[in-house]
Amino acid sequence: MPPSPSPMKTRPRALAFDVFGTVVDWHGGIAREAAAMAARHRIEGDWPAFANAWRAGYAPAMEQVRSGALPWTHIDALHRMILDRIVATHGLAGLNGLTAAERDHLNRAWHRLPPWPDAVPGLARLKRRFTITPLSNGNFSLLTNLAKHGGLPWDCIVSAELFGHYKPDPETYLGCARLLDVAAGELMMVACHPSDLRAARANGLMTAYVPRPLEHGAATVLPSFDAGEFDLVASDFEALAAMLEAT
Amino acid sequence: MPPSPSPMKTRPRALAFDVFGTVVDWHGGIAREAAAMAARHRIEGDWPAFANAWRAGYAPAMEQVRSGALPWTHIDALHRMILDRIVATHGLAGLNGLTAAERDHLNRAWHRLPPWPDAVPGLARLKRRFTITPLSNGNFSLLTNLAKHGGLPWDCIVSAELFGHYKPDPETYLGCARLLDVAAGELMMVACHPSDLRAARANGLMTAYVPRPLEHGAATVLPSFDAGEFDLVASDFEALAAMLEAT
């Protein structure tokens, strides 16, 4: 990883975090819940691959909402649409497959994803100096349940649902700043996805890149980025806190 | 206080709290900050009365927004309009009065109000079993700052600002249930104002009345209500937690 680029001109007043991948381990969480449910049905399969297949449906589904092909649909419903499409190819459909109630339960696994080990201590440390919030495409209740389940110490919950727009639409980044009553330039977006950070930067936000080398499990390919693209690059949330405390 | 009326038919899944008066002591907080600021200017006055005068402007100002006489205006701006109107009558205007920066600071005293002594331990106890959120006409950043200042352990922040409607408009109660993904009948409104609870009930919410006999200081006149009007009546949040744990 290149060293953190340009020193920041100003200190942020608030930090907005991407959630899936950045704060919580969707890959591990989904793979484990799917494996446990499949085991009860004596179904064998590649559950890390199942998790990646489920997640792979996410960006195209949101794109359908962003383009207007679908009306506003929240993530729980999009996750369920994708799940219904992939159960057959992973041996979870059919007579001995999951019941409707089990599909509902598995769909809610996205509300129970485990935080990365540094997330809770790092957020607690960042919270002492900054207002910290998720800024995620996950629906409001999903983000609220994730926080309750994982003990994420957010100051508030900000979801794309509040704006009727998904990231990377500008309404999400600017809407978050407006709700927190800070200027866009006083808000720092923290994410493991350079695409999210680039959109945040285009809307005037500060940016911090935190790579998550296990986001997709062992198969993760880290995205490329240019030195100097982001205000900070940190290996995890504790390192991010240390950098921000030093400014 | 009459005993708690009818036993509840169902247990709530989430609790939504009115904030000003119900969770935090606006009267004491504002009176103390005004007194401290006046003392620096050697201005004498009745600061509890000043707090009540400020608060008295609140309902009419919101009514102007609700009726459409004012466009959507958040509470920080409404508070400032009222403050600018009452400084003169309390000796805070004029050559030796507050500077513009001091008025800004005093206006932000609403972001620093102290919780009632039972609020934090009561909320922490309720949080173990229920999703807990403010549902207040205070703007989103104000409620977020209040929570940070007072250590209020909310699971999320829900403000009238998210709906562009002030309580008692139905959009607030129903919008809160929608965001939390619970039915209106699974959401319990908790407030020290019977009027708020009556509107919540009219929209299908469960209700808990928690009187705050010092809301307006020594001058508080508790509002009247009928036995059986509300699902629960509790003397404070710890008592409310005990009642809900017993259901």
pLDDT digits (tens, 9 = 90+) for B149-171: 999 999 999 999 999 999 999 99
Report, as an integer, the average pLDDT of B213-225.
92
Q: Tell me which chain B residues have a C-beta less than 8 angstroms from the C-beta of A157.
A: 155-157
What pLDDT does A36 receive? 96
What pLDDT does B157 receive? 98
pLDDT of A1 over the 70 cut:
no
CATH of B14-25+115-245, one of 3.10.20.310, 3.40.190.120, 3.40.50.1000, 3.30.499.10: 3.40.50.1000
Measured in whole angstroms, the distance separating CA B215 from the mean position of its chain's CA atoms is 10
What pLDDT does A9 receive? 63
Task: Tell me the CATH class for A14-25+114-245.
Answer: alpha beta
Containing H/E element for A32?
Answer: helix A26-40
- The per-residue pLDDT for range B115-128, each reduced to its tens digit, is 999 999 999 999 99
B57-61, B141-145, B202-206: least confident range? B57-61
Q: How far is B237 from chain A (nearest CA, A)?
A: 20
Name every residue in A having a CB less than 8 A away from some CB of B.
76, 127, 131, 139-141, 143-145, 147-148, 154-157, 161-162, 179-181
Start-end ranges of CATH 1.10.150.240 in chain A?
26-111
**B7 — pLDDT class (breaks 50, 70, 90):** low
Name every residue in B having a CB less than 8 A away from some CB of A.
76, 127, 131, 139-141, 143-145, 147-148, 154-157, 161-162, 179-181
What pLDDT does B9 receive? 63
Residues 6+ apart with CB under 8 A from B239: none
pLDDT of B76 over the 90 cut:
yes
- The per-residue pLDDT for range A21-45, each reduced to its tens digit, is 999 999 999 999 999 999 999 999 9
Q: For chain B, state the CA radius of gyration.
A: 18
ipTM here: 0.94
Q: How far is B89 from chain A (nearest CA, A)?
A: 30
Report CB contact under 8 Å: B156, A143: yes
Report, as an integer, the average pLDDT of A71-91.
94
Residue B141's closest chain A neighbor by CA? A180
Containing H/E element for A51?
Answer: helix A47-56
- The per-residue pLDDT for range A138-158, each reduced to its tens digit, is 999 999 999 999 999 999 999
pLDDT of B41 over the 90 cut:
yes
Please name the member of B127, B157, B179 whose beta carbon is closest to the beta carbon of A156.
Answer: B157
Q: How many CB pairs under 8 A join A and B?
A: 51
Superfamily of domain B26-111: Putative phosphatase; domain 2 (1.10.150.240)
Q: How far is A140 from chain B (nearest CA, A)?
A: 6
**B236 — pLDDT class (breaks 50, 70, 90):** very high
Report, as an integer, the average pLDDT of B57-83.
94
- Give me A87's structure tokens: 């159960």
**A219 — pLDDT class (breaks 50, 70, 90):** confident
Start-end ranges of CATH 3.40.50.1000 in chain A?
14-25+114-245
What pLDDT does B28 receive? 98
**A8 — pLDDT class (breaks 50, 70, 90):** low
Please name the member of B140, B155, B181 whose beta carbon is closest to the beta carbon of A147.
Answer: B155
Q: Are A129 and A247 in contact (CB under 8 A)?
A: no
**B8 — pLDDT class (breaks 50, 70, 90):** low
Report, as an integer, the average pLDDT of B43-47.
95
| Test the A interface: residue of B149, B156, B180 with most A CBs within 10 Å | B156
What pLDDT does B247 receive? 82
What pLDDT does A96 receive? 85
What pLDDT does A65 receive? 93
Report, as an integer, the average pLDDT of B217-242.
94
Residue A124's identity, in one-letter code, is A
Start-end ranges of CATH 3.40.50.1000 in chain B?
14-25+115-245
- The per-residue pLDDT for range A159-217, each reduced to its tens digit, is 999 999 999 999 999 999 999 999 999 999 999 999 999 999 999 999 999 999 999 99
